[in-house]
Structure 1
Amino acid sequence: MKKRWLLPIFASFMIFSSVNVNDAEAATYSELKTTATQYIGTPYKYGGTTVNGIDCSGFTSLVFSKFGISLPRTSKEQYQQGTSVSKNNLIPGDLVFFNTSGSGISHVGIYIGGGDFISATTSSGVAIDSISDPYYWGSRYVGAKRIGNFTKTQIVAEVKNASIDFSIYASRGEVALQLAEALGIDTTDTNSPFPDVKPTSKYAGAVTALNKLGIFTGDENGKFNPSSPITRGQVAKVLVEAFDLKLQGEAENFTDVKASHWAYEYVQILSSNEITNGKGDETFGLNDHVMIKHMDVFIDRLTQ
């Protein structure tokens, strides 16, 4: 039986339960920017909502959906959400609105810091611009709304159990249990080195054993985050490095995995080894949470 190694890839994306900024958990500025900028170059399409073509409100909805926030479909409707923010107090993650038509709110983007915002434009597709651009955006700026709190540093708190259905999606703790069982390793030591995995936790034995083998380590705060999900992009890297996979001939090209994305090579290798065929709509779903049934399929294919 081949060994399965799960490497330390622990981006803890926080899940938002509503568009009320006061109720939202937080994710980091870097997570927001990484998620938004991976779509740079996506062509503009009026009414579009996918990487094949997207408009401004479709883009903001897509990015925020990766953090569990559901936004209304149009820029005008999105302007009715959240809390108003002055231009001097903008932080990454704030939605910024413009009047480009001369008849009220007609464009929306996401502020990413440094005076810049990212949006789906009719001229360049998804692109980064200055919010104070004197030639266009500056004079058309209307205002901003804060939908969710993004912070400078990594969040310590875990995802709320109620925010995601772990009967469908794989948690990090469940992945640890699955790997420990498949490896047949001794899980009797429950003295976990992680403060958020107590000896009484059902994950303690598996997490401790995998940590001893160097398979699992904590995040920058030393936590394991057993109730956090893991994304398909992260799992692609995990599986490729775990099984020492190499590119095997031709791989499928997924429309949402740009060559510049950090996970591109891993997804290509996974595809070329016929471990994944994507989601069936020419996309891979980089930032989608991994479903339990898909994790089962991946491991089954790798151990055949």
Structure 2
Amino acid sequence: MNIGDKVRMLRAKEQGIVTRFLPGNQVEIEIEDGFRIPVLRSEIVVVSPMEATRFKPEPTVDPKKPAKTEIIGNVGIYLAFVPTSERGGVREVEVLLVNNTDWELPFTIGEERETRYTGLLSQVLRARSFARLGQRYSLATFESWPTFLIQALWHRSGGTTLRPPLVKRIKCRAQTFQANSGTIPVVNQTGHVFQLDVEDTVEPAPAKPKAEKPINAAALRESLMGMTDKTLPTPVERPSAQVDLHIEKLLPNGFGERTSADLLQIQLQAFEKNLENAIASGMDDITFIHGVGNGVLRNELHRRLGKNPNVAYFEDAQKEKFGYGATKVKIK
């Protein structure tokens, strides 16, 4: 089971897409109405992409009921390195581009070496499939590997949401290369895998080094000695265990001429400030009340929480009281 897989619950009718792995042998799935819920792995099964064609029931259309929104796997583009058999005592890897989404992906991939670009492969990558570059790289010359440049478009037949092109550069480093070992989605082989369509998961190509300033030994020694009597730590305001992010609470005197984007930014700033203060003040957990609405604020909070290294996990909180309108954050 991988992020982006379509799954079905064993004890309910809901289907969804795997968006995140949680502690306690749980996964988070996004169901049809856009909500994300935690579910035990033992309570779901992966839906085969062949199921729709092999077990297609006769369509029954009720004009009084609106058609259900199709669940689309939107996340899961990977650059993967698979070890091959040794040739002449030299260990090598082959490079794969993996599409674990429901989109077709017209793409190009090439090498960048300083100012020179070399194209390696260009084709259309079908949904839930992968492509081999047909080129191998020796682990003995790892430090001289090029920067890989991947450019792709998102395509689905019929009416769909326009998505911006995918452009990623990845320069392999020894530490991150080993840390990203695991099972490669779709291919189901062990290798080194980098996800390209999630922010901050791919290490960018290194920038040209700037000239370093001379080190002031006295200033460095003073900084390593810790706080002096001249500087005192600023006290951190401990937030409430429940923070209401409804805009009416944050702007009790009215919205003025602020746009929807301005109001969302105010809510996100309140979220970031309270989360940072909760972490700094040593709180074990904090709950953010965001409401249901159209899901924009909730999804943005979950995206930021998923990237915060100080967050152990987060989940929908107190469904009896808030429904899916609140998120509880467990702090490390």
Q: Give the TM-score of the pair, scaled to structure 2.
A: 0.22
Comparing both structures, which one devotes a greater share of its residues to helix?
Answer: 1
Structure having the higher Rg: 2
Q: Give the TM-score of the pair, scaled to structure 1.
A: 0.24
